[in-house]
A and B are shown apart, each in its own frame.
Chain A
Amino acid sequence: MKLKKLKIFFVALALLCPVFVYSQVQERFPKPDFESGYVRPDLLTPAPRSVVWEYMDILVLVAALSLATYFAHKLRSRRNIFLLMVFSLVYFGFYRKGCVCSVGAVQNVSFALFNLAYVIPLSVILFFALPLIFTLFYGRTFCAAVCPLGAIQDAVVLKPISVPEWLARLLSMFPYVYLGLAVLFAATGAGFIICQYDPFVGFFRFGADFNMVILGMSMLLLGTIVARPYCRYLCPYGVLLNWMSRLSRRHVRITPDECNKCRLCEESCPFGAIKKADEETQPMKKETDVKQLAVLFILLPVIVFGFGWVGSRLDISLSRLHPTVSLAEEVLLENAGKRTEMTDATKAFRATGKPLEELFAEARAIQTQFHKGGWILGGFIGLILCLKLISLFIRRRQLEYDVDKGTCLSCGRCFAYCPYEQVRLGQMTPEELKELDRRDVSIKQFRA
């Protein structure tokens, strides 16, 4: 049996030889000596964009981040944030064609961490780190006005509906899965899936795969009623920004002064990122929560381990996305006689004359990486799931209407709804506000 396989292999090789002998460079014809004084033209090699423009991109990024933060925190001006957002859409999106962006830079960073041969450009590191650092201090102003992917979605928000809470919680798991997968694929060198499945980059370049155009179109259409669907339920970089923003030193607040719980801002956020103040009368049922929490904490290692195990089981199927592994599988199938026609990839591989054993060893090494990565990915998803469940049972007293620091994009839409903001802008005097307040209180008393 083995002999037969070998035979097939050698016959195939022999058949292929004449095709590939020619792919090597050969001097079949001598260089001519010209008598007519003919001079050979030069081979033109136009240079890539100069490094100066790369510094320009970094400068624009820093300037845009600083301006966005200034507009959101100091000026509290939605108009300025919007204008800056349009600028970013034009510059980072349509002018720079969406590459490199901070969202995609996550993959370059993970690729660089696990592949010492990859030299990561300075600009990519900065595109990855600067928005995180800004967010760690001032909240997600990057999302509001700098990210071109956010900008194109923000521009089409027409009639946002509020997503039911259970659905929002469920969907908010997706970014973690996406981030985990993207890091796994980038680290193992299988490819950059965030770039591959970026729904909007096709608009920036005025061209993409048919499927991606359809995806981008439907995402924008959906975006008219569900504001920024990609940012909220897919963006892998958003996961990191969410974590940073929760720890942020200063974060925008709805009111510039204090909250009188007038509820005017309640419906103003299209992203559902406003935390409502507790009703005074709401009872706190602590005992049951504590019991359920205890159960969850006991279950946590089990769930993390279980998900990790599931992840490790997926190693073979996930690793097929790596070109080396899929090539090795194709070659195996051909050698076993299960494929009658060779693919371009296997033809090219066989032409190189590289030993099969080497290819299989490489593929096996990659599968081992995927096995390890699968454990980590699964465990990570399990852990996030548990933390989300735990957060359901931890209630904190919410004294006033405030933004949810993790999900708030600092877009500034809610500012104008606050009566104290109107006072700050001088459109209302403090006396008028007090008068309103008094009237409101009497209405509430009347209703009670």
Chain B
Amino acid sequence: MKEKSSKDRIKRRDFVRKSLHSIVGLSIGGLAGVLFSRSSKEEMVWQLDPNICIQCEKCAVNCVLPHSAVKCVHSYSMCGYCDLCSGYLQPGAKHRDTGAESQLCPSGAIKRTYIEDPYFEYTIDEELCVGCGKCVKGCNSFGNGSLYLQARHDRCLNCNQCSIARRCPSQAWKRVPASQPYILRGDESGKYRKG
């Protein structure tokens, strides 16, 4: 008699377990289904909006990479090609030249090339750029704003929680679709306009 009741109990336990198994299985399926309905095949990547960015210099040190994935980019279409470039030269620099003491960039990542009188071209050496945004601040304050910061996606690891975004004081970072990975200015601004 006792033997039978313990067997019954095992049967009952088994039944409860199996029904729970099915319920949980179905609910995971349901949850996945709900999520699928508003998912996208694309990955989302991190990017900072240069129109919100305040150049606080946190991008330079808060990336998980030893050399930040944030670099300065240059929209040539917006640049005034000035001789007196407030993004390149220290404020109050004695000479308008390529001397280290004249340069604003702490790592000498901006290359100044003479084009024709009175124009100079400025290009960014991404290997040297640390993403501090000092030049961006300079260009914004007295120039056309053609220099700005962007996460470069050949470097960015696309962490689930971006370590810079977490510390960004102006909340300029957001997740954007991988097909529109940059928020650009100037002539290029239409390149990744949201569809």
Contact = CB atoms under 8 A, between A and B. Distances in A.
Interface of A: 22-32, 34-36, 38, 40-43, 45-49, 51, 54, 97, 99-101, 104-105, 107-109, 112-113, 116, 118-123, 125, 128-129, 132-133, 136, 191-192, 195-196, 201-202, 205-208, 243-244, 247-249, 323, 343-345, 347-349, 351-352
A348 B157 CA distance: 27
Contact of B20 (A104, A247, A344, A352): A247
Interface string B124-163: 0000000000000000111111000000111011111100
Interface residues of B, number: 70
Given A47-B153, A119-B38, 11 more contacts: A23-B54, A26-B144, A31-B77, A48-B153, A48-B178, A51-B43, A108-B160, A120-B35, A125-B39, A243-B24, A249-B21
Given A27-B78, A192-B160, A205 B64 contact: yes
A138 to B, nearest CB: 12
A36 B160 contact: no
B160 A118 contact: no
A414 B68 CA distance: 46
B182 to A, nearest CB: 5
A32 B145 contact: no
Contacts of B65: 205, 207
Nearest to A46: B154
Contacts of A201: 64
Q: Which label, helix, strand, loop or mixed, suits the secondary structure of the B interface?
A: loop
Nearest to A240: B28
Interface in B30-70: 31-32, 34-36, 38-45, 51-52, 54, 56, 58, 64-66
Contact of A195 (B51, B115, B161, B171): B161
Contacts of B21: 136, 247-249
B43 A99 contact: no
A391 to B, nearest CB: 15
A116 B166 CA distance: 21
11 contacts: A26-B144, A43-B184, A43-B188, A45-B182, A107-B160, A113-B35, A125-B32, A125-B35, A205-B157, A323-B171, A351-B54
Given A29-B143, A122-B41, A129-B32, A34 B119 contact: yes
B171 to A, nearest CB: 6
B75 A43 contact: yes
A119 B177 contact: yes
A136 B28 contact: yes
A97 B159 CA distance: 9
A338 B28 CA distance: 50
B77 A40 contact: yes
B153 A112 contact: no
B72 to A, nearest CB: 12
Given A121-B42, A129-B31, A348-B54, A32 B80 contact: yes
The winner among A27, A45, A343, A345 for most chain B CB atoms within 10 A is: A45
B145 A132 contact: no
Contacts of A116: 38
Given A47-B153, A192-B160, A244-B24, A27 B175 contact: no
B191 interface: yes
Given A43-B76, A125-B36, A26 B52 contact: no
B181 interface: yes
A207 B153 contact: no
B181 A47 contact: yes
Contacts of A128: 32
